[in-house]
Amino acid sequence: MPADTNPNGDIFGGWILSQMDIAAGTFAFHIAQGRVVTVAVTAMKFYKPVTVGDEVSCYCRTEKIGTTSITVRVEAWVRKRAEIAREEQVTEGLFTFVSIDEHGKPRPVTRDDAATPSLS
């Protein structure tokens, strides 16, 4: 939306990052089979600008599963309105989550490979 843009009409990088965090958090939730919190965002790379009207898709894959943590690689891709048949990658990053219990304390990640999604 226009309120999410800079003066050049490009979407703020922070907006893209928040969408990636939502996608990665949903992805990590399914792996942890419960609540997770973001503890780090690393290795963010922005390749191309995103403009108003672009369709943004986030793709996730498991990078690493620790005792209580899950690291997810997220790629953001766009389809331009005028070129709907072509997608291009615009950014990527690593998001690390910690699985927590109902009291907000870290809890072990259950390693059930059948429940581990590969794309989101």
Q: What is the pLDDT of residue 52?
A: 87
The fold for domain 2-115 equals: Thiol Ester Dehydrase; Chain A (3.10.129)
> Which of these, 26, 16, 93, 111, lies nearest to 57 by C-alpha position?
16
pTM for this entry? 0.87
**Which segments of 6-48 does DSSP mark as H helices, in order?**
13-32
Cα–Cα distance, 86 to 11 (Å, whole number): 19
Q: In terms of C-beta density within 10 A (0-12 exposed, 13-18 middle, 19 or more buried), how is residue 42 classed? A: exposed
Asked which of 55-59, 69-73, 116-120 is least confident by mean pLDDT, the reply is 116-120
For the stretch 9-44, pLDDT in tens is 899 999 999 999 999 999 999 999 999 999 999 989
Share of the chain above pLDDT 70, in %: 91
Asked whether residue 96 carries a pLDDT value surpassing 80, the answer given is yes
